């Protein structure tokens, strides 16, 4: 049984360690913020020259960094109250189709002798039109031992394969929506918007997944 007294005593005894950790964290944060400010104020030619000198820079700045003159893109809107902000949001969304996909996953390999997993991709498409129906649905996939353990170029934790199927499933579903909305300009529709709740980075180092992740992410951007 944990008592309040023993917990308080242990926290007090370790308080200096927490302070040291916070101090180191703040120092690192200050260094990163300083570097970010330097990048934001640097000339495009200087950044390009530095990146060209690196064998593998990892990333390059987008046009917004140079056109905006900094890493922060300010938002010009302001409102007197919450109701005014809601009216602005309603005008932005009116007759504009928005779409979002989100995945969930479960893997039972640690609890059972039979490795099995499941991935579900849910999505919500909202036309923001009182005369049209919204779409809310899911796509379910069962991952069998053949999918989890076989045909692997490199040894891979099944958990990672489950995570990969969820990520790729979200990318695929959002890509399907964007493809379905091609030609919206010709139809005089408002530009549709898809929300992608993942970083636009290849999240795993496994060689067997890098290509599929990279191809899927690049295709989504296109």
pLDDT tens-digit profile, the chain (222 residues):
889 999 999 999 999 999 999 999 999 999 999 988 888 888 888 888 888 888 887 777 777 777 777 788 788 889 999 999 999 999 999 999 999 999 999 988 666 778 889 999 999 999 999 999 999 999 999 988 888 877 655 556 778 888 889 999 999 999 999 999 999 999 999 999 999 988 777 665 566 677 888 888 889 988
The continuous run of DSSP H or E covering 36 comes out as helix 15-41
Backbone dihedral region of 64: left (phi > 0), alpha (psi from -120 to 50 degrees) or beta? alpha
Q: What angle do CA 76, 77, 78 make, to 5 degrees?
A: 120
Spell out a b/e string for 19-46, using b for 16 or more CB atoms within 10 Å of the CB, else e: eeeeeeeeeeeeeeeeeeeeeeeeeeee
Residue at token pair 């969820």: 166
What's the pLDDT score for residue 161?
84
Strand partners, 100: 124, 195
Backbone dihedral region of 69: left (phi > 0), alpha (psi from -120 to 50 degrees) or beta? left
What's the pLDDT score for residue 204?
57
What's the pLDDT score for residue 152?
59
> Tokens standing for 157?
């934790």
What's the pLDDT score for residue 155?
56
């Amino acid at each position: 049984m944990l008592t309040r007294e023993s917990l308080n005593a242990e926290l007090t005894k370790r308080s200096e360690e927490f302070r040291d950790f916070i101090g180191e964290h703040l120092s690192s944060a200050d260094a990163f913020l300083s570097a970010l400010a330097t990048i934001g104020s640097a000339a495009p030619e200087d950044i390009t020259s530095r990146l060209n000198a690196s064998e593998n820079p990892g990333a390059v700045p987008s046009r917004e960094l140079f056109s905006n003159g900094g890493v922060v893109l300010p938002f010009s809107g302001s409102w007197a109250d919450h109701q005014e902000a809601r009216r602005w949001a309603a005008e932005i969304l009116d007759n504009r189709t928005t779409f979002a996909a989100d995945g969930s996953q479960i893997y039972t390999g640690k609890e059972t002798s039979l490795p099995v997993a499941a991935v579900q991709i849910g999505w919500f498409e909202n036309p923001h039109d009182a005369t049209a129906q919204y779409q809310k649905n899911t796509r379910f996939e069962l991952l069998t031992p053949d999918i989890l353990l076989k045909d692997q170029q490199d040894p891979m934790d099944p958990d990672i394969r489950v995570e990969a199927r969820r990520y790729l499933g979200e990318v695929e579903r959002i890509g399907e929506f964007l493809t379905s909305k091609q030609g919206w300009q010709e139809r005089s529709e408002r530009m549709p918007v898809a929300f992608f709740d993942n970083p636009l980075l290849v999240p795993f180092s496994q060689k067997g997944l890098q290509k599929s992740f990279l191809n899927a992410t690049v295709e989504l951007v296109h």
